[in-house]
Amino acid sequence: MFDFMDLEFNDAQQSESSGFYIPEASECMRCGQCVSGCPTFRLFQIHEETPRSRLRTISKILVEDSPVSPEELKHLNNCVQCRACETSCPSKMAYGQLFDAAQAKLQTPLNSLAKMAFYFIEHKNHRAWLMPFLKGYLKSGLQNPLRRSGIFEKFNLANAENLLTEPALKPLFEIYPTNRIRRGNVALFTGCIAEHFDRETLEAAIKLLNANGFNVQIPKQQSCCGAIHQHNGQSATHLIENNLAVFNSLNVDAVIHVATGCGAMLSEYESESFKKRLFDIHEFLLANWSDDLKLESSNLKVAVHEPCSGRNVLKNQQSVYALLQKIPDLNVVALADNHICCGSGGRYMLTHPENAAQLRELKQQIIHDAKVDLVVSSNFGCVLHLNSNHTTVLHPLVLLAGRLI
Ligand code: SF4
Ligand code: SF4
């Protein structure tokens, strides 16, 4: 049995100089409540793969300034950053914030592939130039022979290449006016890669907002939310400042995000004026659904996969269920084990492909057992990670928009 009570934890972990709060041994009650919901503990069943053990390592990095062994670092970095531990901790440890701060202090050098990925996340124009080449590659018939040649494994690109889907090339318009009686103006946060790789969801969002009487504005100057940077020890300040300047200058009633991963990051920007107008699309649509807007009925059975960013940070997962009830006769069920991460975890599926694949397998078994027609998830990363030949996973907005009469 896992003996959580025996773990050692040093005294006073609060450092005035560091400014980071790490509960003292007396405050961490060693209750172990954070353990069972931790996906890596579920995989490895050892105490080094628990939130509690990671907090010990984080304390060494942030407060004690003492050396951390490669083994401790490996276990720390195995964290999926799902933040499930925050929701179960009676001492209210801000695990996500502590993890990010530890990564920022560690400043682990990026390999050339990661540097390239961060470059394209930051540089929208260069990203747009890359897309026709990716599309050309996918249509060229070279994919299978190149995969067989082993070249992607050689350059450590196999996992990223596996996730490639055909990118949309045409940029979105800056404004999508409603053709209903206008009820307001909103701005849509599109993030970094969704405009190319999750166009279907963004178009569904625009359709639903327009159908409910809202003009939709998509400011070109917006940038990535900064989550991937922040969770990997890179500064996200320039991205955050840019988004605050862009969205705070708009004359709109709301700023709307459609992916919970981005939404979680945006909801933690330190700007009250920005957060006051920030909405998750499901909550916004629920609050502003036009009485005369009807959807076509469906007899499908749909399971809701709850992304960790929605469940553990935004804590608004119920809005997806409520919104799907707008489709008459739709049978909506929760996926069992929704409190356990699917393993997508931002770039975790690329950096820790084996762990991510094992967590996906567990989730896919649950999906299989649920005997549903399809699964919905409001985070693009989870959709990408969970979709397979046997499982159709969609953003709930795509299902809703497809039923507009
Ligand atoms: S964030 Fe998730 S993976 Fe990381 S320690 Fe907490 S529960 Fe475990
Ligand atoms: S849930 Fe919080 S208080 Fe309990 S063992 Fe985990 S870190 Fe400590």
Q: Which ligand lies nearest the alpha carbon of 22?
A: 2
**Residues 271-280: pLDDT tens digits?**
999 999 999 9
Mean pLDDT of 189-204: 94
User: What is the position in ligand 2's atom list of the atom closest to the CA of 30?
Assistant: 5
| pLDDT higher than 70, residue 4 | no
User: What is the position in ligand 1's atom list of the atom closest to the CA of 308?
Assistant: 2
Tell me, what DSSP letter sits at residue 295?
B
Confidence band (pLDDT; 50, 70, 90) for 349? confident
Higher pLDDT, 207 or 390: 207
> Is the CB of 98 within 6 Å of ligand 2?
no
Q: Are residues 97 and 130 in the same domain?
A: no
> Is the CB of 29 within 6 Å of ligand 2?
yes
Stretch (H or E) spanning 69: none
Domain-ending residue, one of 66, 89, 106: 106
Mean pLDDT of 82-98: 90
Which amino acid makes up residue 69? S
307 lies in a domain? yes
In the block, residue with structure tokens 């990661």:
114
- Print the domain residue range for 132: 112-162
For position 3, what pLDDT does the model report? 39
Confidence band (pLDDT; 50, 70, 90) for 92? confident
- Spatial distance between the Cα atoms of 40 and 49, rounded to a whole number of angstroms: 6
Q: Are residues 116 and 89 in the same domain?
A: no
336 close to 372: Cβ distance less than 8 angstroms: no
Mean pLDDT of 348-364: 92
- Spatial distance between the Cα atoms of 98 and 253, rounded to a whole number of angstroms: 33
Contacts of 39 (CB under 8 A, 6+ apart): 80, 82, 84, 340, 341, 343, 359
Q: How crowded is the C-beta side of 154, counted as CA atoms within 13 Å?
A: 6
**Residues 133-183: pLDDT tens digits?**
999 999 899 999 999 998 888 888 888 888 888 999 999 999 999 999 999
- The pair of three-digit structure tokens given for residue 293, joined into one six-digit string: 């807007």
> Is the CB of 93 within 6 Å of ligand 2?
yes
Confidence band (pLDDT; 50, 70, 90) for 107? confident
Q: Are residues 44 and 102 in the same domain?
A: yes
Domain-ending residue, one of 88, 106, 124: 106
For position 23, what pLDDT does the model report? 61
Q: Are residues 100 and 121 in the same domain?
A: no
> Is the CB of 384 within 6 Å of ligand 2?
no
281 close to 391: Cβ distance less than 8 angstroms: no
| pLDDT higher than 50, residue 12 | no
For position 389, what pLDDT does the model report? 77
239 lies in a domain? no
User: How much of the chain exceeds pLDDT 70, in percent?
Assistant: 93
Mean pLDDT of 376-383: 95
SS3 210: helix
For position 19, what pLDDT does the model report? 53
**Nearest residue by C-alpha to atom 7 in ligand 1:** 38
For position 316, what pLDDT does the model report? 94
**Nearest residue by C-alpha to atom 3 in ligand 2:** 28
Q: Are residues 389 and 347 in the same domain?
A: yes
For position 1, what pLDDT does the model report? 33
**Residues 209-263: pLDDT tens digits?**
999 999 999 999 999 999 999 998 899 999 999 999 999 999 999 999 999 999 9
For position 21, what pLDDT does the model report? 61
81 lies in a domain? yes
- Strand arrangement of the beta sheet that strand 175-176 belongs to: 175-176, 214-217, 184-189, 254-257, 278-280
> Is the CB of 81 within 6 Å of ligand 1?
yes
Tell me, what DSSP letter sits at residue 168?
P
CATH number for 326? 3.40.50
**Residues 278-326: pLDDT tens digits?**
999 999 999 999 999 999 999 999 999 999 999 999 999 999 999 999 9
Q: Are residues 395 and 311 in the same domain?
A: yes
Q: Are residues 314 and 367 in the same domain?
A: yes
For position 226, what pLDDT does the model report? 95
94 lies in a domain? yes
Q: Are residues 99 and 147 in the same domain?
A: no
| pLDDT higher than 90, residue 268 | yes
Confidence band (pLDDT; 50, 70, 90) for 15? very low
For position 31, what pLDDT does the model report? 84
217 close to 202: Cβ distance less than 8 angstroms: no
45 lies in a domain? yes
For position 22, what pLDDT does the model report? 60
**Nearest residue by C-alpha to atom 8 in ligand 2:** 28
SS3 305: strand
Q: Mean of the per-residue pLDDT values for the chain? A: 90
Q: Are residues 88 and 118 in the same domain?
A: no
2 lies in a domain? no
Mean pLDDT of 339-368: 92
Q: Which stretches within 124-280 are classed as H helix?
A: 124-139, 143-149, 151-154, 158-162, 194-197, 199-211, 227-231, 237-248, 260-266, 272-276
For position 24, what pLDDT does the model report? 54
Angle at 198 between CA 187 and CA 236, to 5 degrees: 65
- Spatial distance between the Cα atoms of 27 and 118, rounded to a whole number of angstroms: 38
- The pair of three-digit structure tokens given for residue 53, joined into one six-digit string: 């053990």
Q: Are residues 79 and 148 in the same domain?
A: no
How far apart are the CA of 402 and the centre of ligand 1, in A? 36
**Residues 115-137: pLDDT tens digits?**
888 888 899 889 999 999 999 99
Nearest in space to 265 (alpha carbons), one of 52, 134, 121, 376: 121
Which amino acid makes up residue 185? N
- Spatial distance between the Cα atoms of 357 and 240, rounded to a whole number of angstroms: 31
Q: Are residues 31 and 88 in the same domain?
A: yes
Confidence band (pLDDT; 50, 70, 90) for 17? very low
351 lies in a domain? yes
Q: Are residues 100 and 28 in the same domain?
A: yes
User: How much of the chain exceeds pLDDT 90, in percent?
Assistant: 69
201 lies in a domain? no
> Is the CB of 39 within 6 Å of ligand 1?
yes
- Spatial distance between the Cα atoms of 151 and 163, rounded to a whole number of angstroms: 16
Mean pLDDT of 93-114: 88
CATH number for 34? 1.10.1060.10
Stretch (H or E) spanning 365: helix 353-370
Q: How far apart are the first and last CA of the chain?
A: 56
Mean pLDDT of 8-34: 57
Domain-ending residue, one of 37, 71, 106: 106
The pairing of strands 214-217 and 175-176 is antiparallel
**Nearest residue by C-alpha to atom 7 in ligand 2:** 52
15 close to 62: Cβ distance less than 8 angstroms: yes
**For the chain, what is the domain count?**
3
Per DSSP, which regions of 313-362 are E strands?
Answer: 331-334
